Chain A
Amino acid sequence: MTLLEVTDLSVDLPLPRGAVRVVDGATFRLDAGESLGVVGESGSGKTMTALALMGLAPEGARIGGSIRFEGRELVSSSEEAMRALRGDRMAMIFQEPMTALNPLHRVGVQVAEPLVLHRGLSRSAAFGEAVRLLERVRLADPERAAHAYPFALSGGERQRAMIAMAIGCGPRLVIADEPTTALDVTVQARILALIDGLRVETGMAVILVSHDLAVVAGNCDRVLVLYGGLVMESGPVEVVLRAPKNPYTRALLEARPEPGAPRGARLKTIPGAPPRHRDVGAGCPFAARCELTVDVCRTARPPSVAFGAGHVSRCWRAAEVGEAP
């Protein structure tokens, strides 16, 4: 069953020197209980896509295209309607658990907040529910954590509290924006396993935003590869990562360190730097760094080429991209 259907989503941010399109023509869908990875480097538009889905794009941003969530169009929805959805039907987990909790309120009170807001629970009943939620996210001592202020918790514990806050009302969609970037590697794996476990348990869909291909590979059904605001490639994780049909995805995979590589072997890199949005022009944002660039790449947006099983690549020469090494 389709939970979320995004068609030709665009986000224009107003800057002093004119609007900049940071997300351009994103099209994807998400079924209930499915997990979608969104990968890309800084500035590729992955966070802006996530915020646009929540209706939280920055003040003055122009959202184009269509976002249908549970059959409802969100782009044209009022702020009041969006507020009723947020924290209830859709929730978000943030990157920085250190700053995503207000230092002045007890953790339990903050976890309880959506329950007060959307379920009409009394503050004390919601606090009790918050303790149970903290237990569900496997915090060691949920009672103590609920009464603690955020500074008393570790980064991993705070991220668990954020997850508890997100799942409180049983959302159908949880957007996790780099939920493990600020955490130790060992804690990362546990947090990701927790999110995945909750997804299976509750049947909610998860959008996992990350710059880490390995994180997406291990935790997602499907993947969206973003570059310069454009969805370069999308499809089932194992297909996209094993047989990429886009030169950017392929270059990313080749840049991974190989276990067992000979000593002194250099990592493969992508030459150049990501383009600034206003420099892209009409062509493919990756054209300046791509090995396969031909003239048309610099002058026209690449077409979407389908390869079956929902695998789509935006590239003029998609058919010529070989298997991953």
Chain B
Amino acid sequence: MSGFARGGFSLWLGATLAAALLMIAALSFVWTPYPPAAIDIPHKLAQPSLAHWFGTDSLGRDVASQLIAGARVSILVGVVAVGIGLVFGVALGLVAAFRKGVVEDSIMKACDFVFAFPALLSAIMLTSTFGPGVVNAIVAIGAANVPIIAKLTRATANSVLAREYALAARAAGRGPLAIAADHVLPNILPALIVQATIQFAIAILAEAALSYLGLGAQPPQPSWGRMLSDAQNVLYNAPRLAIYPGAAIALSVLGLNLLGDGLRDALDPRLRARS
């Protein structure tokens, strides 16, 4: 049975939604129906039409163009924040697993310390201290990812290091770096991929929340979270303006979560044996 068949419907649907998100973000670099930030007051709050698929907002900006361009920020934040989490998290987790003892204890205690703060609250704190903006939002979200990935890496790496082939590799004279690259990383990769997918979804949600609060993407940069907060002012006149970005966020997060679940089903040998 192929991996895709094992992941079943959720893997298929999740992969489709995630791919659509990626393609829309890629599309935004070459084409949007209108410049997403172009203000056109005479045509403000227009109903959906052939000229404006999803209508226009309170400043006459084309909603479809903003949605397409907003995907870019979501993807950017997701990729970079998860990347930060992976690079530092995997490194810290591996050091903890290989060095054991005091080093392991202090790394894990530091992770617990970061865990103790709600991620979104520390992101709000960071962005309000260092100023709002996408870069600071990315750093804040990425920093919250590091301990999650570090804990996962340490736990899975420890289970690999307890295998006999890790001992056999040491008995063959291999050093910790070679064992990490050749034996540990390939064996913990499935778990990391699944976790990274789910963290990606959380990062998109966090970016939307920060932008909604005015701490993430700044005008004129289009962002789904900012579209939501703009729509809030005209909620009674044009509630659809809140629905579009809300649906875009929900579909992206749903798609990535389904993809993560599906990948877990497809990659985890224990689940494989059960079904």
Contacts and interface: CB of A to CB of B under 8 A. Distances in A.
A99 B187 CA distance: 13
A92 B183 CA distance: 18
Interface of A: 54, 56, 59-60, 83-88, 91-92, 94-96, 99-102, 104-105, 113-114, 117-118, 162, 165
B167 to A, nearest CB: 7
B167 A91 contact: no
A138 to B, nearest CB: 21
B101 A86 contact: no
Contacts of A59: 100-101
Contacts, number: 62
B interface residue count range (under 10 / 10 to 19 / 20 to 34 / 35 or more): 10 to 19
Contacts of B182: 102, 105
Nearest to B100: A59
Contact of A94 (B164, B173, B175, B186): B164
B163 interface: yes
Nearest to B160: A102
Contact of B168 (A85, A104, A118, A162): A162
A224 to B, nearest CB: 20
10 contacts: A54-B171, A60-B100, A86-B171, A86-B173, A95-B164, A99-B163, A101-B168, A113-B174, A117-B178, A165-B168
B172 interface: yes
A214 B102 CA distance: 45
Nearest to A102: B165
B170 interface: yes
B175 A83 contact: yes
Given A100-B164, A104-B186, A165-B168, 7 more contacts: A56-B167, A94-B164, A95-B164, A99-B165, A117-B172, A117-B173, A117-B178
A194 to B, nearest CB: 18
Contacts of B168: 92, 94, 100-101, 162, 165
A83 B169 CA distance: 10
In order of increasing CB-CB distance, the 3 nearest A-B pairs are: A87-B173, A87-B172, A86-B173
Interface of chain B: mostly helix, strand, loop or mixed: helix
Nearest to A58: B100
Contacts of A56: 167, 170-171
Interface string B176-210: 00100011001100000000000000000000000
B165 A101 contact: yes
Given A59-B101, A104-B187, A86 B165 contact: no
Contacts of B172: 86-87, 91, 113-114, 117, 165
Interface of B: 100-101, 163-165, 167-175, 178, 182-183, 186-187
Contacts of B100: 59-60
Contacts of B169: 102, 113
B171 A60 contact: no
Nearest to B179: A102
Contacts of A91: 171-172
B108 to A, nearest CB: 15
B230 to A, nearest CB: 50
A87 B165 contact: no
Given A99-B163, A99-B164, A104-B187, A92 B175 contact: no
A197 to B, nearest CB: 22
A96 B164 contact: yes
A54 B171 CA distance: 7
Nearest to B98: A59
Contacts of A102: 165, 169, 182-183, 187
Contacts of B170: 56, 86
Contacts of A105: 182
Contacts of A84: 173
Contacts of A83: 173-175
A53 to B, nearest CB: 11
Nearest to A56: B170
Contacts of B175: 83
B171 A88 contact: no
Contacts of A99: 163-165
A117 B174 contact: yes
A59 B98 CA distance: 10
A87 B169 CA distance: 9
A94 B172 CA distance: 12
A101 B187 CA distance: 13
A113 B163 CA distance: 18
A89 B86 CA distance: 39
A123 to B, nearest CB: 12
Nearest to A90: B171
A59 B167 CA distance: 12
A118 B173 contact: yes
Contacts of B165: 99-102
Interface centre among A84, A86, A102 (most CB of B within 10 A): A102
A183 to B, nearest CB: 15
